[in-house]
Amino acid sequence: MNIPEDLKYSRTHEWVRIENDEIAVVGITDHAQEQLGDVVYLGFEDEEGLTIEEGTEIVKGRQFGVVESSKTLAELYAPVGGEVVEVNHTLTNNLETINDDPYEDGWMVKIRVSDPGDLDDLMNAAEYKQFLEEEAH
């Protein structure tokens, strides 16, 4: 299982990479895509079904999307709060990218972080690995 050292991780299996000190690039972890299996649908929407797009204010811990596989449907939760500055719409036509390259081309949204303290609640790679081991038991 791939757990890059330079990323932060949430308990709901999203990863975060900070760019330019304020932009959080967000996607799902290798573990998450393995658990899902082949992705058949990705939607950028909140829990009320409203579309998440550039300019949308997103609240940490709230839904920003859904991903469906042949096995299950999973909600995607924002690991940080702020303004969505970019949505990776190319994924909706290239769903295999989520499984093949979750940490690079498989990123989902970019968020301008409104509270840098949000990052303090995320795990580093070693903590995430331990979390996965505990979750497995």
Q: Are 29 and 14 in contact (CB under 8 A)?
A: yes
pLDDT at 42: 97
Query: Which tens digits make up the pLDDT trace of 2-14?
Result: 999 999 999 999 9
Domain of 109, CATH number, reads 2.40.50.100
Residue 111 structure tokens: 């968020």
Residue 131 structure tokens: 């979390």
Q: Please provide residue 80's backbone torsions phi and psi, each rounded to the nearest 5 degrees.
A: -140, 160
For the entire predicted model, the pTM comes to 0.96
How many structural domains comprise the chain?
Answer: 1
pLDDT at 137: 86
Q: Please provide residue 110's backbone torsions phi and psi, each rounded to the nearest 5 degrees.
A: -120, 130
Q: Is residue 3 part of a domain?
A: no
Query: Which tens digits make up the pLDDT trace of 9-68?
Result: 999 999 999 999 999 999 999 999 999 999 999 999 999 999 999 999 999 999 999 999
Residue 27 structure tokens: 């996607």
Q: Is residue 110 part of a domain?
A: yes
